[in-house]
Amino acid sequence: MLESSPRYKVCLDPTPFSNRAGCVGCSESSASLFDMTELKCVGCKDSETYNPKLYRCEATVLLHNFKAGKFVNLPDLLENLLESQKTQS
């Protein structure tokens, strides 16, 4: 059994991940994801969104609605763009 072996240790909450140093946990900060390749806590980049179904960060893509009655100027605030998108639904 794994639990009885001195060579193995099961990591439990609040430190459920393991790296070469032992069991670690990722906080709820910007580095709240555990990278299984790097064996460390990481966060998604500003241009990415976490996909909980695939357990990874993915690039955020903004799609254009060319049939919209109003085009947004680049200097517009993001809040203006989001509000405009809500009214297009």
**Model pLDDT for residues 34-52, shown as the tens digit of each residue:** 888 888 888 888 888 877 7
pTM: predicted TM-score of the whole model, two decimal places: 0.45
Residue 81 has pLDDT above 80, yes or no: no
Q: Does residue 55 sit within a domain?
A: yes
Instruction: Report yes or no on 49 lying in a domain.
Output: yes
Domain that holds residue 10: 1-61
In a domain, 18, yes or no: yes
**Structural domain total, the chain:** 1
Q: 15 to each of 12, 67, 73, how far by Cα in Å?
A: 6, 50, 47
* Model confidence pLDDT, tens digit, residues 1-26: 455 667 778 889 888 888 888 898 88
In a domain, 23, yes or no: yes
The tokens describing 83, both together, are 């509000």
